[in-house]
Amino acid sequence: MHIPWRRVIRRILSMLGTLLGVAVFVFIMLRAIPGNQITAGLGTEAAALTPEQRLALEAYYGIDKPLVVQFFTWLGNVLTGNLGFSSRSQVSVLSLTLNALPVTFELAVLSILLALLIGIPLGMLSASKPDSPRDAIGQLIGLAGLSVPSFLLASALLTILSAKFGFNPNGEAYATLTEDPVRNLRQMLLPSLTLGFGIAAPIMRTTRTALLEVRSQDFVRTARAKGVGMRRLQVRHILGNALVPIVTITGLQFGYLLGGAVVVEQIFSLPGIGRQVLIGIQGKEYAVVQSTVLVIALLFVVVNLLTDILYRIIDPRVRAE
């Protein structure tokens, strides 16, 4: 198998450029927010600090140096595997991230599975008879998924199910999949439904558009003329050739989920990576936010690369290019 090394090198350089751009952007934006770790930790009491006390705290937090020095010191530490230290949690950022990442990864996988189970059948149903009542219903569900904010759907689900049916597993302490699989899946149910419903909408619309485009091609008419059964025609010939855009949109959505469903994780009290960033911003913990966002960006570009590889595997036309 021929390996396109020039393309691989270009992709790697592009990934490195993206990560550097994210690092610079997050570093600048964090410092643009009023306040720092001293004011976040002490609140109004920070005004009572003497100049010597303030200088000592700035040196402790590493914010007494010029911004350029702060940036390259942090970046150099990251390149050696030192993501920093959380003064709030009294543990390393690497330890925080390793604990939070499996939570977000599990949430992302479950949400994508639910989105595929909802979006692809709805897309196929809508495409089977365009401009019909079933198509209108599918389009309406897709529009609802795009329109309803995740925080609103999450709050509604949590409120209704807890108030009317007493179902609120997220009110208990979080249990990992290895500690208590049943409680873990119960705690993941509502957040996965919330995110899955929103992601199902673009998957459904992409599936519908791709199927209609493939169905109009000559090979489909030829297969139908040869007497290929409708089920086989739909699944093997039409859906099989429409997988590239579906895989692409699924990979993008999965990357966004790994970026941390901040609002959903906060509402359902899931100790994921998105909530870690949110708490870091609230506490002005620069190392936590910068390093965690950089990890998120790395995951996103890796998912995009894997998506690119996957649709080159499933579609020989892409490989030929």
pLDDT at 53: 79
Which of these CATH numbers, 1.10.3720.10, 3.90.1280.10, 3.30.9.10, 3.40.50.720, describes 96-320?
A: 1.10.3720.10
Summarize pLDDT for 135-150 with one digit per residue, the tens: 888 888 888 887 888 8
pLDDT for res 113:
92
* Bigger pLDDT: 230 vs 134: 134
CA distance 260 to 272: 7
Residue range 177-191: average pLDDT?
88
Where is pLDDT greater, at 223 or 253? 253
Residue ranges of domains in the chain: 5-93, 96-320
**Residue 86 pLDDT grade (very low, low, confident, very high; cuts 50, 70, 90):** confident
81: left (phi over 0), alpha (psi -120 to 50) or beta: left
The per-residue pLDDT for 114 is 92
Confidence of residue 318 (pLDDT cuts 50, 70, 90): low
Q: Does the pLDDT value for residue 320 go beyond 60?
A: no
Return the pLDDT at 265: 86
Q: Is 44 helix (H, G, I), strand (E, B) or coil?
A: helix
Helix (H, G, I), strand (E, B) or coil at 304: helix
Q: Report DSSP state, residue 166.
A: -
For 56, residues 6+ apart whose C-beta sits below 8 A from its C-beta are none
Q: Average pLDDT in the 47-65 region?
A: 77
pLDDT higher than threshold 70 for residue 226: no
Residue 233 is given by DSSP the state I
pTM score, two decimals? 0.82
Residue 287 makes CB contacts below 8 A (sequence gap 6+) with 74, 83, 84, 85, 86, 93
Confidence of residue 111 (pLDDT cuts 50, 70, 90): very high
**In the predicted structure, residue 228 carries a pLDDT above the cut 80:** no
pLDDT digits (tens, 9 = 90+) for 70-80: 888 888 888 88
pLDDT band, residue 224 (cuts 50/70/90): low
Instruction: Give me the chain's average pLDDT, please.
Output: 81
Please name the residue ranges forming H helices in the chain: 5-32, 37-42, 51-61, 67-79, 93-128, 133-147, 150-165, 181-215, 218-225, 230-232, 240-241, 243-258, 262-267, 273-282, 286-314, 316-320
Determine the pLDDT at residue 172: 81
Mean pLDDT of 234-258: 76
According to DSSP, the β-strands at 85-86 and 91-92 are antiparallel
H or E segment to which residue 91 belongs: strand 91-92
pLDDT at 317: 58
pLDDT average, residue stretch 271-281: 86
Residue 38's closest CA among 19, 22, 53?
53
